[in-house]
Amino acid sequence: MNRRWMILGGTGLGLATGFGIWTWFSRRTAALEEMPKPEPMPAAPPPTSAPPPPKAEGVKAGPPKSSIREGLIKDPTVRESPEDAIARGTGLVWRKPQLAEVVTPDKWLAVRPLSEPGFAARAGTGVDVTDAVLREVVGDRELAPGPVVFAIRGAASDRQINPFASGHRLTVVPPDHLNFCCTIGIWDPETKQLSTYAASTVPNRTAIVSSALGVQAANMLLPGVFDYVPGSHSNYKKYGFPFSIIGALRQNGAGGGAGALKVLRATTPTGMQGASVSTTTDDNIHCAETPLLEPYDRFSSEGCLVVAGRYTPQEGHTGPWARFLKDGKFKGRAKVTVILANSTQLPVV
């Protein structure tokens, strides 16, 4: 009997112990369920590239410099007075700092228009440019194959571009070394058609003043018939502009050229009157607006013949200059005949 009670007692003790354990476990689970659950860990951000290295001191960000001058009159047929040009300025520093002290506003204003050989006396009269007129100027000179470039000093059209036609009428205008008072055109001797573009064939006022005072050498090409070669004009890297003007015509280049040509050099800062005769090898044909255009000037020339318009690597060729290149078909040619004549050499109409 004692053994039976011992068995029953052991069984009861086991049940009691098991019940106690089950109760403790249930309370523990409930307590854990009531506790706040931890916030999930945020997802790792996607990998990013390394930050750019710091810029070196003195290095400016942005696109390469352009030759574009804000504030200039863009229509080359509109003429501006020298006083208005001084008042306009461009808000930019001189491209050639050495000129800033030499070409003062009073000296720039003192430059006189080109009166010789008779531009002033014939001002306002008309001249026609035709195949027959140009053949008279050329005479028996042999022409290079392809379209011919002609430049008329001191005669302008009231339009910046005149497309191919049998002839064009121009008005005699004394070159004032500021405005586009000349015409450069393309003549096709085979079709007897001509096109014209606003241009200049004289140095600008800055060049005249600075040349006469010995700061730089500027000149004015004398009339004649020459052979130019296609090529690039100038390398502006030393002035901070990483390009040259492509598509230009060079007086002399790797493929030959006209050699040394006669020019006039200013002996006084008031103009080309009384200039001395000299020679040059670098009077090219290029667009009028270049990186060396100084604050008051509308075209850039120390002696080159220039067509209104400009070139930059970002924009390409623009204005009358772009049409001039298209009509001239210079690409791939060994040489191009260039005619320069004063308007006073042409018959009055």
pLDDT in tens, 234-279: 877 777 777 889 999 999 998 799 999 999 998 899 999 888 999 9
So what's the pLDDT on residue 58?
38
pLDDT over 60 (residue 20)? no
Sorted by where each begins, the domain ranges of the chain are: 89-345
So what's the pLDDT on residue 65?
55
So what's the pLDDT on residue 67?
60
So what's the pLDDT on residue 262?
97
Distance between start and end Cα atoms, the chain: 157
So what's the pLDDT on residue 75?
96
So what's the pLDDT on residue 68?
65
- Residue range 208-240, pLDDT digits in tens: 999 999 998 899 999 999 999 999 998 777 777
Of 55, 336, 308, 63, nearest to 199 by C-alpha is 308
Q: What is the pTM of this model?
A: 0.81
Query: Rounded mean pLDDT of the chain?
Result: 84
pLDDT over 60 (residue 12)? no
pLDDT over 50 (residue 57)? no
pLDDT-wise least confident of 4-8, 75-79, 112-116, 292-296? 4-8
d(CA 112, CA 124): 18
pLDDT over 90 (residue 120)? yes
Higher-confidence residue: 298 or 242? 298
Higher-confidence residue: 66 or 135? 135
d(CA 217, CA 236): 17
pLDDT-wise least confident of 13-27, 80-94, 245-259? 13-27
**3-state DSSP call for residue 199?**
strand
So what's the pLDDT on residue 2?
43
Contact 343, 155 (CB under 8 A): yes
Q: What number is the average pLDDT over the span 325-341?
A: 97
So what's the pLDDT on residue 268?
93
So what's the pLDDT on residue 129?
98
Higher-confidence residue: 237 or 105? 105
d(CA 119, CA 170): 13
**3-state DSSP call for residue 84?**
helix
d(CA 121, CA 172): 10
